[in-house]
Structure 1
Amino acid sequence: MPLLHVDNLSRSFEQTRALDAASLTVERGEIVALMGANGAGKSTLVKILSGVLSADGGTVTLKGNPFAPGSPAEAAAAGVVTVHQSTDLVGAPGLTVADALLLNRFADRGQPFFVSRRGIRRQAQAILDAVGFELPLDRDFGDIPAADRQLVAIARALANKADLLILDEPTASLSADESRRLFEVLLRLRRNGLAILYISHRTADLEAIADRALVMRGGAVVGAFARPIDFSQAIETMIGRKLQSARPGARQAQGAPIFEMRGARLLPSSELFDLSVHEGEVVAITGVLGAGKSRLLSAIFGTIPLLAGTMVLDGRPHRPKSAADAIAAGVAMAAEDRHRSSLMPPSWPGNSLAATISLPHLAKWYRHGFLFGDRERREAERAIERLHIKAPGPLASIWTLSGGNQQKVVLARWEAEPSRLLLLDEPFQGVDVGARHDIIQAIRRRTDRAALIATSDPEEAIEVADRIIVIDRHGIADAASGAVASVFEELTA
């Protein structure tokens, strides 16, 4: 008898069928990868298993018993716990790691009204001992690495005696070393009999730990692959077509550069470096987490100061004091965390697809203070067609779209007005293979500007860029065009 059995599960949202007779099983002591393009139904399935949503049809059994939790707390009590990509709800700056481990218990009415620091620490250590983790209990949760925050979330989940652990993109913000550490933990948990449903767009993750992979498309499970997993076939099953390269060949830089940095320094202790990007060229900046990729883009965009050196854009000095200055000069940027930096909150009126595109252009599009929706809608309709955005229409809330389609909208924002330099920080984070293909094609289609892309994934860098620059300790470590894999392996080993 399988631990989890999902049979013909269905769920619709108005006219959209998110799950269409989806069926799968998960056994004890195995890691099952769940693959699928954005919008394939993975999130809806996980929300039903987590008690966030209810199904319209079909059945779920857990340990041989009907399973239809009405809340995440009910799901956890039954043995199904989900750890999401974001750890924002796991803890917060100001709380210790011990506090974060015990947050669930603090909300339990059966707990004593008064608690001591010694008691909190003792209970937290017991949780870590039970799962074999080592974490700094007295450290501020806001100061620990992303990998440790993930381990806090997993430890808290296992303290609830979980039978099934669902992980949603757990390595999206982890370095290679942190990912390896997490994999060691997961493999040990699997040996102890825990079942893990692992959702990721990173085939390297799945190759490292998955016993088998299930592929979703159109709300149904359409493929199953045993180890060793044929990822080329799995990805083709996922997107429903043959996988072709989005970058048929690198372009050679010609003429004067659009943008240059000369004698630049990002931190007082970092080395000076030069950087140039030419018209029509896509340059990837890669390196380990903390190497300086985001800081470099932020300095170009005017949100942090450049400590030394000069910048030149189209032959003129580039000294932006703010993002508004950079935009006015022809520099556009999509920051790493699109939810915080590029999207309006769900409760705000300007959260539609059209309004998201128009936001930085309002002063230019509506010079006299009168807002007319025609320009917004036209741009949004063009973006939907050009970037293959899956959305009901231009007025749909951005928060109803999948992660890949949200990222396409963020890119469409900077396609709506001319720019000379496009800065993208981790543009493929949480984006499936099909959406990544569309985004790369859109980036490379524009030859009237240059693009500078920061990514921690060497595979992404090779796929998107004409030229790749490796950054280390906030300085340029190496540059290459094609054969840079050995450099990446050295930096991320």
Structure 2
Amino acid sequence: MPLLHIDALSRSFGPTRALSGATLTIDAGEIVALMGANGAGKSTLVKILSGVLPAGSGTITLKQQPYTPRTPAEAAAAGVVTVHQSTDLVGAPGLSVADTLLLTRFAERGRPFFVSRSGIRRQARAILDTAGFELPLDRDFADLSAADRQLVAIARALANKAELLILDEPTASLSIEESRRLFDILKRLRDGGLAILYISHRTADLEAIADRALVMRGGVIAGAFRRPIDFSAAIETMIGRKLQSARPDIRIAGGAPVFEMRGARLLPDSTPFDLAIHTGEVVAITGVLGAGKSRLLSAIFGAGRLASGHMLLNGQAHRPETPAQAIAAGVAMAAEDRHRSSLMPANWPGSSLAATISLPHLAKWYPHGLLFGGREQREAEKAIARLRIKASGPQAPIASLSGGNQQKVVLARWEAEPSRLLLLDEPFQGVDVGARHDIIQAIRGRSDRATLIATSDPEEAYEVADRILVIDHHSLVPAPHGPSAVSQGIHA
């Protein structure tokens, strides 16, 4: 008998039907990948399983018993624990790893009012030993790497006797080596009988970890694939159309470069490097977390500084003191965390799709301070059509869009005005395969600018770039050919 059985599960939000009769089963001791474009219903399904939302109709049975959790605490008590992409809520600065592991126990009724530090460490060590993890018990949770934060969350779930572990984009903030370490742990947990529902947009992750894959589209399970998983067929099922290879025809650039770095040092003690990018060229920089990708882009955009060396844009010295100066010179940038750097909070002025696109261009489009003439509306309409943005219209709240569509809007912002150099930091983070394909086509469809992309995923770099460079210890080196070779080069 399956551990979990979902039958004809539905859920609506007003006129929008998020789930339309989803049916699936998960057995103990297997890793099931859940694939689906943004808006396919994955998040709603997970929220129902996690006790965040009630189902509209349908049934769920867990261990052959009706399962209707009303809160995440009830779900955890029943054996279903979700570890979200962001681990910010797992712990807090000032709490040690040991404290964080025991947080839920501190809240239990009947617990002693006073606890000893030695007792906390002893119980925390028992949790880690049971999970088979090695973590520093006395280290501040805020000082842990993203990978170790994930392990703390998983260990706490196992301590709560989880039987179904739901992981939502667990490798989004992990390096390749950290991801491999996580995969080894998950396989061991699976072999011990734990059921894992693994949600990710990264096919490389799923190929490495999944026993089978379920594909959601339109609120239902549209396809099921067993190992060896045919990911081409799974992706076509996910987006509902044939998907041509995203691997670009390589363009060999010639002529004078549009942007150069000469003798550049990102840190005082790092190795100097040179970089040249030509008009029409897409260059990707890949490397492990902390290697210097974001620092490099920030220096070009005026949000940081080089330790030494100089930059040229169109043959002229490029020394922006601020991002505004970089934008005025023809450099545009979409930073890694779009929610913090590119999107206004919900219900704030400027939180619509159209206003998000126009925000950095307001002074130029409306020099007298009056928003008239409808340019904001026209640019948004063009972006919706060109980038296939799924939205109700230009005034749709940006918060109502899926992650992939939000990223398209951020790209549309910098397509609305000419630029000589476009900088994109992790542009495919949290973006499904279909939206990623559309974004790649848009990036490569512009021959009037140069594009520099920073990504921690060699597969993404291989899909989008004419040329790939590896960044290591804050210095650039040429990359080997092919995504596997690039991955090996990163860790050479």
Task: Give the TM-score category using the shorter length.
Answer: over 0.9
Pairwise CA distance, 1:345 = 2.3
Match for residue 25 of structure 2? 25
Counterpart Cα distance in 2 of 1:345 and 1:100:
29
* Contact 1:462 1:468 survives alignment (8 Å): yes
Deviation by residue 1:169-197 (Cα, 9 ceiling, x = unmatched)? 10111111111111111111111111000
Evaluate the alpha carbon distance shift between residue 383 and residue 113 of structure 1 in structure 2; reply closer, same or farther with a 3 A threshold.
farther
**Residues 386-418 of structure 1, C-alpha deviation per residue, up to 9 Å, x if partnerless?**
111111222222222211111111111111121
Distance 1:479 1:196 in 2: 35
Equivalent position SS for 1:126: helix
Alignment correspondent of 2:357: 357
Question: Residue 298 of structure 1 aligns with which residue?
Answer: 298
More displaced, 422-431 or 283-292? 283-292
Identical counterparts, % of pairs = 78
Q: CA contact under 8 A between 2:479 and 2:486: conserved in structure 1?
A: no
Matched, 1:45 2:32: no
* C-alpha distance in structure 2 between counterparts of 1:236 and 1:405, whole Å: 19
SS of 1:167's partner is strand
The normalised TM-score by structure 1 is 0.96
Check whether the contact 1:268–1:307 (CA below 8 A) recurs between aligned residues.
yes
Amino acid at match of 1:229: I
Residue 329 in 1 paired to residue 350 in 2?
no
Per-residue deviation, 1:247: 4.4
Letter in 1 for 2:217: R
Query: 2:57 aligns to what?
Result: 57
Say whether residues 1:489 and 2:451 are aligned partners. Answer: no
Cα distance in 1 for residues equivalent to 2:360 and 2:112: 51
* Residue 377 (structure 2) aligns with: 377
- Classify the secondary structure of the residue corresponding to 1:275: strand
The match for 2:97 is 97
Instruction: Report the CA distance shift for 1:16/1:191 in structure 2 as closer, same or farther (over 3 A).
Output: same
After superposition, give the CA deviation of every residue in 1:409-429 in whole Å (9 maximum; x if it has no partner): 111111112111100011111
Contact 1:101 1:124 in 2 (8 A): yes
Contact preservation (8 Å) 2:248, 2:465: no
Instruction: Look up the equivalent residue of 1:294 and give its one-letter code.
Output: S
Aligned match of 2:206: 206
Higher mean C-alpha displacement, 341-350 vs 195-204: 341-350
Alignment-derived partner of residue 308 in structure 2: 308
**Displacement after TM superposition at 1:42 (Å):** 0.8
- Tell whether the 8 Å contact from 1:35 to 1:238 is kept in structure 2 after alignment: yes
Instruction: Specify the alignment match of 1:169 in structure 2.
Output: 169
Residues 483/122 of structure 1: CA separation in 2 closer, same or farther (3 Å cut): closer
Alignment partner of 1:257: what SS?
coil
Cα distance between partner residues in 1 of 2:104 and 2:374: 48
One-letter amino acid of the counterpart of residue 209, structure 1: I
The residue identity in structure 2 corresponding to 1:41 is G
Inter-partner Cα distance in structure 1 for 2:389 and 2:110: 48
Contact 2:83-2:153 within 8 A present in 1 as well: yes
| Structure 2 Cα separation of the partners of residues 289 and 295 of structure 1 | 11
> 1:193 aligned to 2:193?
yes
Instruction: Name 2:255's counterpart in structure 1.
Output: 255
Q: Deviations over 1:368-402 (max 9, x none)?
A: 33345933322222211111111122222222221
TM-score (norm 2): 0.96
Query: What is the distance in 2 between the residues matched to 1:347 and 1:142?
Result: 30
> Tell me, what secondary structure is at the counterpart of 1:121?
helix
Q: How many Å separate the matches in 2 of 1:420 and 1:154?
A: 45
Matched with 2:346 is: 346
1:331·1:422 contact (CA, 8 Å) conserved in 2?
yes
Distance in 2 (CA, whole Å) between partners of 1:451 and 1:159 is: 47
Cα offsets for 1:255-307 (capped at 9, x unmatched): 21111111100011211111011111111111222221111111111111111
How many corresponding residue pairs?
A: 492
- The 5 Å alignment of 1:416-431 reads 416-431=416-431
The one-letter code matched in structure 2 to 1:283 is V
User: Does the residue aligned with 2:374 lie in a helix, a strand or coil?
Assistant: helix
Question: What amino acid does structure 2 have at the position aligned with 1:100?
Answer: T
Structure 2: distance between partners of 1:484 and 1:152: 31
Check the 8 A contact 1:247/1:441 in 2, yes or no.
no
1:219 is aligned to 2:209: no
**Are residues 53 and 372 of structure 1, via their aligned partners in 2, closer, same or farther at CA, if it must alter by over 3 Å?**
farther
Per mean C-alpha deviation after superposition, the further-off stretch among 231-240 and 297-306 is 231-240
Equivalent residue number for residue 411 of structure 1: 411
Query: What is residue 456 of structure 2 aligned with on the other side?
Result: 456
Segments of 5+ residues of structure 2 without an aligned counterpart are: none
- Residue 78 of structure 1 aligns with which residue? 78
Q: Structure 1 residues 165 and 307 mapped into 2: Cα distance closer, same or farther (>3 Å)?
A: same
AA aligned to 2:237 is: T
Match of 2:33, SS? strand
Distance in 2, matches of 1:200 and 1:104, equals 27
Q: Structure 1 CA distance, aligned partners of 2:126 and 2:347? A: 40
Question: Conserved in 2, the CA contact under 8 Å of 1:20 and 1:218?
Answer: yes
Superposition deviation, residue 469 in structure 1: 1.3
The correspondence of residues 106-185 of structure 1 with structure 2, limited to 5 A, is 106-185=106-185
Alpha-carbon distance, 1:479 to partner: 4.7
- Describe the superposition over 1:227-256 as per-residue Cα deviations: whole angstroms up to 9, x where unpaired: 111111111111112220234411111221
1:397 aligns with 2:407: no
Amino acid at match of 1:81: V
Q: Which amino acid aligns with 1:489?
A: Q
CA distance in 1, matches of 2:368, 2:126: 63
* CA-to-aligned-CA distance 1:182-220 (integer Å, 9 cap, x gap): 111111111111100001111221122211111111111
| Aligned 8 A contact 2:280 2:448 in 1 | yes
Question: In structure 2, what residue type is equivalent to 1:363?
Answer: A
Partner of 1:468: 468
